[in-house]
Amino acid sequence: MMLALQRLAGNAAVTEAIKSPSSAGWAADVIQRVCPPVAESAPAAPTKAPAPAKEKAAAEPKIDSVTVSGLSSLKLESSKKSGQAVALVPDGLATATAGEEVAVLLHLHGKFGEDPKDDASPLNPKALLEMPAQMAAFLQSRPGTRMIAIMPIGETVEVGGKYDTRFGGFSADTLINEVFGKLAGSGQLAKGLKPGGIVISVHSGGGLELGRMFASAGRLPSKEKFRGVFAFESIHKDLTSYQNFVRGKLKDDLAALTTLAESAEGGPDRADKVFRDQADYLQNKGFRFMGFAGYGGYPKAFHALHDDMCAWFTDKEGALRKAAGAHYDAVLNLLWANYQVTDVPGSGHYDVLATKNRNLQQALGTLPPTIGRIAASTAAVPTVQRDDPAAVATKPPAFKKEHYAMSTTPVILVPENAKQGMAEVSVDPATFCAEILTKAKLDPAAWYNSFTSGVSFLGRSIPDPMHIDLATHLQTVEKDLKHRFGGPTEDPQIAGDTLRLSSKEGDFAAARDHPTKASISMHMFGLAIDVNYTANPMLGHGKDEAAVFASAGLLVSGTKAAFSNGMSYKQLSELDQMLTTYFSYLDDDAALEARLAVATDAPWKGLKKGPARVQIQQDLNTATRLWARSDADQVSVIKAGGFLDLTEDLVEGMKMSWGGTEYGDMMHFDLRDQGEGQTIHQQIVSYKTAKEEESQSRWAKAHKG
């Protein structure tokens, strides 16, 4: 699942942006890529912090459920229930070293959650929340991480015919410190352990108490310890308080990013250093807000929160661009990944923390890898310096060579064309590839015996074979991309996530033993790779495609749009954003009507939204048909994101010839511009020319007189 991802702005934000297009063009106002739609599955966890070098794989810890009584900081109107909390305590904390920190998950239950028979009660060992099991699985995935859960027992109060869940107005820091003291006194925790990073989790009516805590800052954890909020179907009529809180946390993050940029020293690598510092902040110190909803009217409230976050990103685009500089896309992705709303279609409300996606576990997995880390484990995650002797001494792994066999089935290189006087010419790939390599002064047998499989690139495994020249090139650029986008540990997975590289199976392609689109391509020599296949089709399909772009441009900006070979990344990105805006009108009546109202050209002038929507859908169908993206899932991707989701940082960082700007193949990168690849490509061009001449000669010979 990834965050990866991260593409389309919320409808409300887009509608407002489109109402008043500036004279500089629609792209100045509409920033579709600022935030994605509500996620359809739980957010992806960031790469976990590496365990110490000699640490064995951790076993799932045993979680003890301990009822803590006599808490003076937790006073309820009902004396019978007052002063009680349930603590989930993993084994091993009773013998921990004094002075070390333990992360805290502070969970507020919903209506009737204090009843042991209730499915949402922390007192019910068989509760649908599955909190102990999910917490244990999370801790197993993070060796060296220490965390306890504290679940105060509140009371349900009827107010005006409606229910409220109240917890006595406690202060989070005071309650947590008191629970730590009680657990230490009973031997459940070692004496001297201190609360570390604190995350508040709320379910249902517990969200009402959190709303009151938002209004009284002294009740929330101290700023230096408050690390996140997990909201599970918890927004009621207090949406505004959630919106204000999230905006405040985003403001804090933006301020921190700005400070890091402004305080950086100059130098040739200043931009990269600023990015590494900002990435370190967002990954290891940034706040987390994770919302989940699927039952009843809760999704509507959480979608409204999501759209408000999108509006904030829209409003602050300029400030964020100024702080992030050349690495804006990467910083944007990292910041947005920390603030997510996820749809939970299978929620029955009481089980929203669990469901088949184990939502609490997934939310915990988004926390910084440093939270709750014991000293020895934290020390095992240093920032890798460029002059680190160990790093310098580490040699890249050698590639295991294997043979790659080309197809011996003839394919048409030059089709018959009577008007142009061309006869059909067919040759099998094994033959014409060998001839091309020979003309390039390369040994065909040695070339196809120098392929390798299972290459890893930025945390993704590429199943297709490729020539070792390409494998070596990817290894080289990966080193640079890890350093620039992999955070303080130069993690390849983090770099790939930051650059929005897909991790979906089937989204990469390397060597091919026969042609697909081009009659002879660099894929057939193992020197090309396609990335993020679904979201990056090949453009350039004649008048039908041109009509789609023209129609879209007239509606979105009042000017016809068009694709042509040789467009820059910036031009392609603007064209893509325009098309994404156009398709978004299918689900946004307000935005569609706003554009129709000011349309001055056919077919949009005077058109009603019903027929307009039909035209847009026809254009979507045309585009996905031409781009071979007709499956329902593929259509959804094109509708939500157009034809380009590669970041400019990735395109430039690959240091290869990019098909997008060369001839409209957005997914394609190859080595035609360097090394043996350049020589091979020159011979491909010469070979095609020779076959076309042969075709003309055959036609002339067959049609003498």
Q: What is the spatial distance between Cα 229 and Cα 172, in angstroms, rounded to a whole number?
A: 13
Q: What is the spatial distance between Cα 370 and Cα 70, in angstroms, rounded to a whole number?
A: 33
Residues for the chain: how many in total?
705
Contact 539, 520 (CB under 8 A): no
- How many domains are contained in the chain? 3
User: Does residue 550 sit in the same domain as residue 632?
Assistant: yes
Q: At residue 31, does pLDDT exceed 50?
A: no
Angle CA 93–97–102, to nearest 5:
55
The band of 385, judged by pLDDT with boundaries at 50, 70 and 90, is very low
Q: At residue 30, does pLDDT exceed 50?
A: no
Q: At residue 542, does pLDDT exceed 50?
A: yes
pLDDT score of 45: 46
pLDDT score of 76: 85
pLDDT in tens, 492-504: 999 998 999 998 8
List Cβ neighbours of 310 (8 Å cut-off, separation of 6 or more): 9, 10, 12, 13, 34, 35
Element housing 426 (H / E): strand 425-427
CB atoms within 10 A of CB 393: 7
Q: At residue 329, does pLDDT exceed 60?
A: yes
Residue 468 in any domain: the answer is: yes
More confident residue, 119 or 557: 557
Query: What is the CATH classification number for the domain harbouring 217?
Result: 3.40.50.1820
User: Does residue 422 sit in the same domain as residue 345?
Assistant: no
User: Does residue 421 sit in the same domain as residue 549?
Assistant: no
Contact 323, 311 (CB under 8 A): no
User: Does residue 98 sit in the same domain as residue 237?
Assistant: yes
117 DSSP assignment: T
| Average pLDDT value for residue range 428-443 | 96
Q: At residue 108, does pLDDT exceed 90?
A: yes
Residue 258 in any domain: the answer is: no
Q: What is the spatial distance between Cα 579 and Cα 624, in angstroms, rounded to a whole number?
A: 12
pLDDT score of 11: 30
Residue 371 in any domain: the answer is: no
The band of 294, judged by pLDDT with boundaries at 50, 70 and 90, is very high
Q: What 3-state class would DSSP assign to 159?
A: strand
Mean pLDDT of the chain: 86
The band of 390, judged by pLDDT with boundaries at 50, 70 and 90, is very low
User: Does residue 102 sit in the same domain as residue 146?
Assistant: yes
Residue with tokens 């919106």: 243
Q: At residue 263, does pLDDT exceed 80?
A: yes
pLDDT in tens, 39-78: 665 554 444 333 334 444 557 889 999 999 999 998 887 7
Element housing 509 (H / E): strand 508-509
Q: What is the spatial distance between Cα 269 and Cα 260, in angstroms, rounded to a whole number?
A: 15
Q: What is the spatial distance between Cα 204 and Cα 343, in angstroms, rounded to a whole number?
A: 15
Name the pairing type of β-strands 194-203 and 226-232. Answer: parallel
User: Does residue 101 sit in the same domain as residue 236?
Assistant: yes
Residue 146 in any domain: the answer is: yes
Q: What is the spatial distance between Cα 559 and Cα 170, in angstroms, rounded to a whole number?
A: 59
pLDDT in tens, 591-641: 999 999 999 999 999 999 999 999 999 999 999 999 999 999 999 999 999
The band of 705, judged by pLDDT with boundaries at 50, 70 and 90, is low
Q: Which of 31-35, 60-64, 237-241, 680-684 has the lowest mean pLDDT?
A: 31-35
pLDDT score of 504: 85
pLDDT score of 58: 58
Q: What is the spatial distance between Cα 521 and Cα 529, in angstroms, rounded to a whole number?
A: 11
pLDDT score of 379: 34
Q: Which of 165-169, 258-262, 567-571, 579-583 has the lowest mean pLDDT?
A: 165-169
Element housing 648 (H / E): helix 648-653
Domain extent for 622: 543-644
Q: What is the spatial distance between Cα 650 and Cα 4, in angstroms, rounded to a whole number?
A: 14
| Average pLDDT value for residue range 241-269 | 93
Pick from 569, 549, 570: which is nearest to 560 by CA?
549
List Cβ neighbours of 426 (8 Å cut-off, separation of 6 or more): 410, 411, 412, 413
> How far is it between the farthest Cα atoms of the chain?
111
User: Does residue 527 sit in the same domain as residue 547?
Assistant: no
Q: Which of 40-44, 116-120, 316-320, 691-695 has the lowest mean pLDDT?
A: 40-44
Helices 542-556/589-598 angle, 10° precision: 90
User: Does residue 495 sit in the same domain as residue 512?
Assistant: yes
pLDDT score of 43: 52
Residue with tokens 């095609």: 688
Q: What 3-state class would DSSP assign to 95?
A: helix
pLDDT score of 430: 96
Percent of the chain with pLDDT over 70: 87
Q: What is the spatial distance between Cα 112 and Cα 294, in angstroms, rounded to a whole number?
A: 20
pLDDT score of 268: 80
Residue 426 in any domain: the answer is: yes
User: Does residue 234 sit in the same domain as residue 176?
Assistant: yes
User: Does residue 529 sit in the same domain as residue 563?
Assistant: no
Residue 701 in any domain: the answer is: no
User: Does residue 349 sit in the same domain as residue 481?
Assistant: no
Q: What is the spatial distance between Cα 121 and Cα 144, in angstroms, rounded to a whole number?
A: 29
Task: Please state, in angstroms and as integers, the Cα–Cα distance from residue 306 to each residue in 83, 300, 301, 700, following that order.
Answer: 36, 10, 9, 67
Task: Please state, in angstroms and as integers, the Cα–Cα distance from residue 592 to each residue in 443, 581, 586, following that order.
Answer: 59, 10, 8
User: Does residue 292 sit in the same domain as residue 178?
Assistant: yes
Contact 328, 317 (CB under 8 A): no
Instruction: With 0.75 as the threshold, say if the pTM is over it.
Output: no
3-state helix, strand, coil in the chain (%, to 5): 45, 15, 40
pLDDT in tens, 115-162: 777 776 777 767 777 899 999 999 998 888 999 999 999 888 877 777
